[in-house]
Amino acid sequence: MSTSYETDVVAWAKEQAELIRNKRFDQLDLVHIAEEIDDVGKSEQRELANRMAKLLMHLLKWEFQADHRTNSWTSTIKEQRRAIIRRLVKTTSLKPSLTDADWLEDVWLDARNYASKETGIEFDDFPEACHWKMDEVLQEDWLPGSPKAERQTQEQRPQ
């Protein structure tokens, strides 16, 4: 077994797994194994961020283009929610991302960019910061502008 990490990462990974199974630890490429393990975590974080940005983009479209709403948007919103919740259940260490201000700011910027490109609405016409709570965003039937969402928004406003 001598496939180089730089030459063929898939063959290399198979060889490394075989070395581990055979307890030939002295032959492992530990530096690259550590890099790959780090990349797995980063990949999970990227997937969560991408799915959240797509969900938020569709919620922005839903709110800002009420006259263009389609079943496709509803389907995408439901699909992204399910995928995000599945990811959070399988990888519970990702949950703190939902309350991390920097993470949410980055995701929101992506959502605004996507929504602007898809709708033709100016980027700056969308709220500067996410104005929804993450528990709302992930709630199965919640949509911006729904009677329930309006009641929640009014309850949050100072009287």
Is the pLDDT at 44 greater than 70, yes or no? yes
15, 16, 21, 27 alpha-carbon torsion, rounded to 10° = 100
Q: Kindly give the interhelix angle for 30-64 and 101-119, rounded to the nearest 10 degrees.
A: 50
Residue 143 near residue 149 (C-beta atoms within 8 A): yes
Span 72-103, pLDDT tens digits: 999 999 999 999 999 999 999 999 999 999 99
pLDDT at 146: 62
pLDDT at 2: 78
Q: pLDDT band for position 3 (50/70/90)?
A: confident
pLDDT at 158: 40
pLDDT at 103: 96
Span 130-158, pLDDT tens digits: 999 999 999 999 999 864 444 344 444 34
pLDDT at 1: 57
